[in-house]
A and B are shown apart, each in its own frame.
Chain A
Amino acid sequence: MLFLLSKIKSSIKNLKIFSAGSRSAFTSTRTDHTHPNWLSVALAFGTSAFLWALLFKQHSTDVHEYRVRNGLQ
């Protein structure tokens, strides 16, 4: 329904009666690779560091648990 209305509007637009009736604010640019998104970079590296720390902590806990349960330490 709305699609039909917009079609009708766009076809009538050529009459310049509805030229101020609908305006689009849509803009688009290509990603600027010379200015990286430092927030996402920081988040990615931060998450990686966190995961590595978590992994090493978990591993040391596992090793300790194994030693304790098998009476080795």
Chain B
Amino acid sequence: MGLIPEEGKSLPPPGIVNRYSVWLSGAGWLTAMLHNAMARRPPLKSGVHRQVLFATIGWFIGYHLVKFENYAYAKRDRDMNEYMKLHPERFPVKEKKTFAEIVEPFYPVR
């Protein structure tokens, strides 16, 4: 794959059904239907081959887009965690207080 280098291939691949595939194929289908409507043809019934082709192209692009996005975010997370390991002084662990310690005593005025 041209977009993703070797290290990205050890990431779990997205399923065939994934968020961008569904959305972009819907967008492609909508484009075909809009094209039909603007040419004053019945939007759903005409040019089914066009609708199928546009939806397929959207699905295909969506799959590769999800794969690339997963890689980009994984890389960012890995680099961020490595940086945090190398500079622990910049990330002090904050002392956690319970709500009981923070909250002022409650005196109801009814």
Contacts and interface: CB of A to CB of B under 8 A. Distances in A.
B63 A70 contact: no
Interface stretch (B9-17, B77-85, B86-94, B96-104): B9-17
A69 B8 CA distance: 11
A62 B41 CA distance: 41
Interface of A: 33, 40-41, 44-45, 47-48, 51-52, 54-56, 58-59, 62-63, 65-66, 69-70
Chain B interface size band reads 20 to 34
A6 to B, nearest CB: 32
Contacts of B1: 58
A18 to B, nearest CB: 39
Contacts of A51: 56-57, 59-60
B81 to A, nearest CB: 19
B13 A59 contact: yes
